[in-house]
Amino acid sequence: MLWRGGRQSSNIEDRRGMRVGTGLVGGGLGGLILLLISLYFGVDPSAIFNRGTAVDVSGPASTSPADQETKDFVATLVGYTEDTWSDLFQRSGQTYRAPKLVLFNGAVESACGFAQAAMGPFYCPDDERVYLDMSFFQELRDRFHAPGDFAQAYVIAHEVGHHVQKLLSIADQVERIQGRASKSEGNRASVRLELQADCFAGVWANHTERMQQSQMKGFLESGDVDEALRAATMIGDDRLQMQSRGYVVPESFTHGTAEQRSGWFKKGLDSGMVSDCNTFETGTP
Ligand SMILES: [Zn+2]
């Protein structure tokens, strides 16, 4: 991915080095459940958040050159999502309100509650922020065997996709469905929401590439798309469940299978049309 020299977003909140109240962190069953559930790019996982209060106990984290590089990468990526989604919203007569991205270490307090890095990156609709512990990128590479900068770009684009769902009031509708549905119906709605965020990430990649090309710049390099598809595949519910339990329980899927996730990303990437991301209207996503 050619990202150096791109505009960096100013919507980055660096909360690394801030600690949250330790009385609430990692204790007993709560902590165990958090680790077991590990959300992998969930949206508003408030059901399993503990409540805590942020306490600033130290100054900003000392930043290594590698961390600074990753932060620059993230800020540039967020900048790309702002440019692309602003343009797409404008074309349909709407205004894009950009989310903020919060960088944190270990644990963080969001408007959706307290979260730990082990849960993976997430989007909180209540404060319109994406939360990211950059160490997740190492996990993506080492634990999920999905290396590459475009695998990381996909993660951020997916989370921003959840923000787009909020702006389009799609997330609200799903919440209403989940409020009156059975557990497995609720899970199916969650899968559709997640797959749509994957598709939106693909739409974003399509348009960002086009916008960069129109300015005589490249963006995607060969192998990039494969990196994203690989990441989407490696974090499929079926694959994760097989790895952790040795069997899969489709009713408990909340994000979609490896095939579905990579398939919907590809669909968005190929078509570039938000309207092609209607995961709610297909019989099976
Ligand atoms: Zn998600």
**216 Cα–ligand 1 center, Å:** 32
Q: What are phi and psi of 129, to 5 degrees?
A: -130, 145
**91 Cα–ligand 1 center, Å:** 25
Mean confidence (pLDDT) of the chain: 84
**92 Cα–ligand 1 center, Å:** 24
pLDDT at 84: 97
* β 113-116/54-55 pair status: unpaired
> Of 165, 121, 113, 160, nearest to 139 (Cα)?
121
**Ion ligand 1 neighbours, Cβ < 5 Å:** 41, 194, 197
**226 Cα–ligand 1 center, Å:** 20
**158 Cα–ligand 1 center, Å:** 6
pLDDT at 7: 94
Collapsed DSSP state (helix, strand, coil) of residue 231: helix
**57 Cα–ligand 1 center, Å:** 31
pLDDT at 114: 85
Q: Mean pLDDT over residues 90-109, rounded?
A: 94
Q: Which one is predicted more confidently, 168 or 39?
A: 168
**59 Cα–ligand 1 center, Å:** 31
Collapsed DSSP state (helix, strand, coil) of residue 102: strand
Token couple for 15: 């909360």
Instruction: Give helix 224-234 / helix 183-214 axis angle, nearest 10°.
Output: 170
Please say if the pLDDT value at position 97 is more than 60: yes
pLDDT at 63: 73
Q: Mean pLDDT over residues 114-133, rounded?
A: 90
Q: Mean pLDDT over residues 207-231, rounded?
A: 91
**190 Cα–ligand 1 center, Å:** 9
**246 Cα–ligand 1 center, Å:** 23
**58 Cα–ligand 1 center, Å:** 31
**28 Cα–ligand 1 center, Å:** 27
Long-range contacts, stretch 57-60, CB < 8 angstroms, 24+ apart: 57/18, 57/19, 58/17, 58/18, 58/19, 59/17, 60/14, 60/16, 60/17
**23 Cα–ligand 1 center, Å:** 29
**13 Cα–ligand 1 center, Å:** 20
Please say if the pLDDT value at position 51 is more than 70: no
pLDDT at 120: 86
pLDDT at 60: 53
Q: Mean pLDDT over residues 90-107, rounded?
A: 95
- Rounded to two decimals, the pTM is 0.86
**115 Cα–ligand 1 center, Å:** 15
Q: Mean pLDDT over residues 22-36, rounded?
A: 42
pLDDT at 283: 66
Please say if the pLDDT value at position 94 is more than 50: yes
